[in-house]
Each structure stands twice: as structure tokens, then as C-alpha cells.
């Protein structure tokens, strides 16, 4: 139970139940099994637990039965509406256990779910899974958790069965989702840029496979750019001696012109150029690209 000592709650035999057996839920349950945790599984639609039960998981016929079998209850479904529907059916069984909600959704819905849990006397953590299904359970798998630090600490060892990079990011229940949305913002922006780059080159007959070997040049410079940009934004200081925004705005304009000339969709490029131009108009032309933060944060 949540009130157990830290050592006992962190043993390798913490009973766990996983509610929701989509591809991700199945991967979570499999990771708990590999780590030696007695694992009970339940899914609203039967028939998804065959491989798990073959590995030693116990099939629960109801969500209530699954919750009663564990002190650590993990739920991972399509969204918080689906999670809430399940949680309401087991609200009477959850007090005295830890509920870890690994459903992806907005920070506002995460906070609302935590408020609901508190009203029902339920200890909970909200979490976000930052890796695809094949990476679950590996040392590099990153998970964000938010909620009471003391509760997280009690179950940190058990949660590490899911991934070797768990990060408790704060007691505000919405923070795991904030980190999730921010990383996905970066990811989807990068993926959009990647496909657009292939489209731009392809318009002149360059195959994606011919361009791809050279994109690692851009990928390789991103880690130090990420670290430096974060440092500048936190300091509110944007030195642009090495590459100022006015120069980079001109460069983005050249990309925009090239894409327009080839009839590509340029909605994203036009937005990027407009942001850069607005920041220059505000006096940031001699600053770095990071100064666009001022336009985004204070429109």
C-alpha cells in the first residue's frame, strides 16, 4: 500500500495491475513481468492478453478484480476521457493503492484527473511515456512523472521496470503532460521540417535517399544548440555574434522563396519567416534565433 515503507514498496515483487492493453499497455505489462513483478492485466475488450498470460500474467475479468490484486495500478488508454470512465468504475477499490496514469493528454485534463482522485481519497501520479513501444523496458526509455514526490520515491524502483530514465518533474500533477507536449512540439516540428526538406529536394529530382546521408550534419549540431538556446532563454539574453537573427531571417526567406517557386505547401515556412521578421521588427535583429521566444511568449 502507499503507506508502506520505502524499502518494501520498492522491492522487485510489488504486485502490479495494468488497465488497458493496447500496444503500449501490453508493452508496459510485459516490462513489469520481465522485472519480476506479479502482474495482473485487464482490458475493456477481451482477447488482448494471450501473450501476457502465457508469460505469467493473471487475467482479470473485471477492472475491479484487477485493482484488488495490486498495490500499484497503472492505467494507459487512449485519452483521459477513457481513463476517467474506467477510474470511476473502480473508485471504491483504489484508496490505499497507488494509481499511476500513463495516459497521454493535456496538462489541464491531467490536473482535473488528479483533483478527482484526491476527492476520492486516491493517491496518484500522472505520467507521460516518451518512447515508442519497442523501447519500453529498456535503459534508455524516458518516462516523466508528476505528483507527490514522496509517493514517487516509494515506487521509483518498481516504475524503473518500465524504463531506465524515469524523471519526476514536479508535484504539480500537470507537469508530466507539460513536458510531454513540449517534447512532442519539438518532435512534430522536426518531423514536419524533415519531410518538407525531402519534398523541396524532390521537386528538383533529388531522391530522399540521396539527401538523407547529409542531414546528419544538421542533426549533429542540434544538441549543443538546444543546450545553448535553453541557457539564453532562461537568462533572457540572446547574444547573436556568431549568427544573428537578421541574417537567419534572410536565410529562411530564401528557403521560403525556393519552396514557393516549386509549388510546395509553405504554411509552416511562412509562419517561421513571419515570426523571425516580427522579432527583427522588435529590435532583435542583432540577437540570436533564440530571441524569437520573446515573440512567442509575449505576442
Q: Return the H-helix or E-strand segment holding 72.
A: strand 72-75
| Whether pLDDT at 75 is above 70 | yes
38-65 in b/e form (b: 16+ CB < 10 A) is bbbbbbeeeebbeebeeeebbebeebeb
C-alpha to C-alpha distance for 210 and 218, rounded to whole angstroms = 15
Are residues 203 and 289 located together in one domain of the fold? Answer: yes
User: Residue 297 — very low, low, confident or very high, per pLDDT cuts 50/70/90?
Assistant: confident
Estimate the crossing angle of helix 175-202 against helix 245-261, to 10 degrees: 50
Please check whether residue 230 lies inside any domain of the structure.
yes
| DSSP 3-state of 209 | helix
Report if residue 108 sits inside a domain. Answer: yes
**Percent of the chain scoring above 90 in pLDDT:** 94
Buried b (16+ CB within 10 A) or exposed e, 214-229: eeeeeeeeeeeeeeeb
Q: 10-19, 104-113, 135-144: which has the minimum mean pLDDT?
A: 10-19
Q: Answer whether residue 122 shows pLDDT above 90.
A: yes
Torsion of CA 285, 289, 291, 293, to 10 degrees: 140
Residue 1 lies in a domain: no
Q: So what's the pLDDT on residue 299?
A: 72
Count the alpha carbons within 13 Å of 261 in the hemisphere toward its beta carbon: 8
Domain with 138 in it: what CATH number? 3.40.50.720
In this prediction, residue 298 carries a pLDDT of 81
**Cα(90)–Cα(95) distance, integer angstroms:** 10
What mean pLDDT is reported for the chain? 95
Put the strands of the sheet holding 98-101 in their side by side order: 58-59, 39-42, 16-19, 72-75, 98-101, 123-129, 142-146, 165-170
Q: Each residue of 225-261: pLDDT tens digit?
A: 999 999 999 999 999 999 999 999 999 999 999 999 9
Whether residue 10 is found in the same domain as residue 158: yes
Tell which wins on pLDDT, 247 or 1.
247
Domain boundary among 111, 143, 173: 173
pLDDT class of 12 with cuts at 50, 70, 90: low
Residue 7: band (very low, low, confident or very high) from pLDDT cuts 50, 70, 90: very low
Give 1's pLDDT tier (boundaries 50, 70, 90). Answer: very low
Average pLDDT over residues 107-112: 97
The residues, any chain, with a CB within 8 Å of residue 150's CB and separated by 6 or more, are: none
Instruction: Please state the length of the chain.
Output: 299
Residue 37 banded pLDDT, cuts 50, 70, 90: very high
Number of domains in the chain: 2
Q: What is the pLDDT of residues 190-209, one digit of tens each?
A: 999 999 999 999 999 999 99
Q: Which of 143, 173, 203 is the last residue of a domain?
A: 173
Q: In whole angstroms, how far apart are CA 28 and each of 10, 19, 166? A: 17, 10, 14
Amino acid at each position: 500500500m502507499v503507506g508502506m515503507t520505502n524499502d518494501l514498496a520498492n522491492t522487485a515483487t510489488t504486485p502490479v495491475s495494468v488497465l488497458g492493453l493496447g500496444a503500449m499497455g501490453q508493452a508496459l505489462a510485459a516490462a513489469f513481468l520481465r522485472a519480476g513483478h506479479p502482474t495482473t492485466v485487464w482490458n475493456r475488450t477481451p482477447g488482448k492478453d494471450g501473450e501476457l498470460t502465457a508469460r505469467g500474467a493473471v487475467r482479470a475479468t473485471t477492472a475491479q478484480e484487477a485493482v484488488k490484486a495490486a498495490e500499484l495500478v497503472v492505467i494507459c488508454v487512449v485519452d483521459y476521457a477513457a481513463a476517467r470512465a474506467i477510474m470511476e468504475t473502480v473508485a471504491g477499490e483504489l484508496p490505499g493503492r497507488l494509481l499511476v496514469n500513463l495516459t497521454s493528454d493535456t496538462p489541464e485534463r491531467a490536473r482535473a484527473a488528479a483533483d478527482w482522485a484526491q476527492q476520492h481519497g486516491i493517491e496518484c501520479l500522472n505520467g507521460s511515456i516518451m518512447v515508442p513501444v519497442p523501447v519500453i523496458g529498456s535503459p534508455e526509455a524516458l518516462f516523466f512523472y508528476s505528483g507527490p514526490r514522496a509517493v514517487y520515491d516509494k515506487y521509483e524502483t518498481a516504475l524503473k521496470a518500465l524504463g531506465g530514465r524515469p524523471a519526476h518533474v514536479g508535484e504539480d500533477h500537470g507537469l508530466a503532460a507539460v513536458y510531454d507536449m513540449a517534447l512532442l512540439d519539438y518532435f512534430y516540428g522536426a518531423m514536419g521540417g524533415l519531410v518538407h526538406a525531402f519534398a523541396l529536394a524532390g521537386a528538383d529530382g533529388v531522391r530522399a535517399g540521396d539527401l538523407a546521408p547529409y542531414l546528419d550534419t544538421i542533426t549533429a549540431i542540434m544538441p549543443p544548440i538546444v543546450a545553448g538556446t535553453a541557457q539564453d532563454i532562461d537568462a533572457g539574453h540572446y547574444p547573436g555574434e556568431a549568427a544573428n537573427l537578421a541574417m537567419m531571417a534572410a536565410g529562411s526567406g530564401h528557403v521560403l522563396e525556393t519552396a514557393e517557386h516549386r509549388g510546395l505547401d509553405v504554411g509552416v515556412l511562412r509562419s517561421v519567416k513571419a515570426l523571425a521578421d516580427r522579432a527583427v521588427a522588435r529590435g532583435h535583429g542583432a540577437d540570436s534565433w533564440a530571441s524569437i521566444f520573446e515573440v512567442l511568449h509575449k505576442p
